[in-house]
Amino acid sequence: MNSYQRFCFNLLGHRMKGRREQYTDLRNKLMSARLKTPFEAYISTAMVTAILVGLVFAALMGSASWFLNLPDMLAYKGTVPESLLFLNDYSLVLGTIVITLLSLGIFGGITYLGFLMYPSIVAGERRRNIDSTLPYAINYITAMSTAGITPAEIFRLLGESTIYGESAVEARYTAREIDIFGRDLIDALRIVSTITPSSRLKEFLQGAMASISSGSNLTEYFRTKAKQYALENRQEQKTFLETLGLIAESYVTALVAGTLFLIILQSIMSILSGESNPMFLYVVIYLIVPFGSIMFVILISSMTPEM
């Protein structure tokens, strides 16, 4: 923990210890994301930061409301009871108070929600990285097992590697359970399989546990899973390329040919009608084309598997 997280923990940590059951999913996500901040410190930091951000924005929005006289810019045209007409003399004060409280709740709530969502985002990124590097990591495991290296040493060597991404991180935690906490290989694999965000790695570890428990040929199991994941990886790459071709055709049809057709059609209609301010052309050129292109880039980026 850094000094700020330690301060937040000292401030609220003792209260958060009794609320662990209310944040079961958050605790699981923190472990899946491999964030090194303890739950009590993380949730304390989230609350303190949300309060501070809410107060800062409340002060800024309240000051802007007061000095710019924002409440007087809003005109209510409905019927107001006579008993409430006297509030019109205090519209600036009441409006500033309302804006301040809304800013406190909105910006503080967004900050707190961001803290709650962050572990899930990190866990999702780790899952994609594990799924993309797992076939290559299993090939490494298979080669080491074929050479006669023990399973515990295999995971230890995989954890020391720097080219297998988050798969090596999971192997490092497996070795940690064995070396530091004194657990056997099956217990270490069980713990890591429970925490890992990747369902593929979880399946692989559970199969390895079953092979060790039953006395089966672990090297043959590794070899079989290496072939399976290599085949699945090729199929995923093929599916992605087919999908990418479909997206490219959609882009050409919708944002190239489609927008050209709309521009030509609108230009002809503007000439025939004598309109000098073709607003629709501006919308197509300055909004639809750039934002449509950005959306296609985001779509392709989110679908592209990590290599």
Q: What is the CA radius of gyration of the chain?
A: 29
Predicted TM-score (pTM) of this structure: 0.74
**Closest by Cα among 253, 175, 171 to 204:** 171
Q: Which residues of 22-36 are buried (b: 16+ CB within 10 A; e: fewer)?
A: ebeebbbbbbbbbee
Q: Give the model confidence (pLDDT) of 260-269 as tens digits.
A: 888 888 788 7
167: left (phi over 0), alpha (psi -120 to 50) or beta: alpha
Between CA 203 and CA 232 the distance in angstroms is: 14
Per-residue pLDDT tens digits for 171-204: 999 999 998 888 888 999 999 999 999 998 999 9
The whole-number pLDDT of residue 40 equals 86
Angle at 227 between CA 222 and CA 232, to 5 degrees: 120
Distance (Å, whole) CA 40 – CA 42: 6
Token duo for residue 266: 């609108």
pLDDT score of 85: 46
Can you tell me the distance from the alpha carbon of 154 to that of 145, in angstroms, rounded to the nearest whole number? 7
Q: Token pair for residue 270?
A: 């503007």
Helices 199-214, 185-195: inter-axial angle, 10-degree rounding: 160
d(CA 116, CA 113): 5
DSSP 306: P
Separation CA 65–CA 59 (nearest Å): 10
Beta-carbon count within 10 A of 234 CB: 11
CB of 29 within 8 A of CB of 119?
A: yes
Average pLDDT over residues 258-281: 77
Q: Residue 169: pLDDT band by 50, 70, 90 thresholds?
A: very high
**pLDDT for 192:** 92
Q: What's the chain's average pLDDT?
A: 83
Amino acid at 230: A
Give the rounded percent of residues in the chain with a pLDDT score beyond 70: 89
* Tens-digit pLDDT profile for residues 112-141: 999 999 999 999 889 988 988 888 899 999
Query: Are 196 and 209 a contacting pair, CB within 8 Å?
Result: no
Is residue 38 helix, strand or coil? coil
Structure tokens belonging to residue 213 = 């428990």
- Which DSSP string do the residues of 67-115 spell out, in sequence order? HHTGGGG----S---GGGGGGGGGHHHHHHHHHHHHHHHHHHHHHHHHH
At residue 49, the pLDDT reads 92
Whether residue 274 is predicted with pLDDT greater than 80 in this model: the reply is no
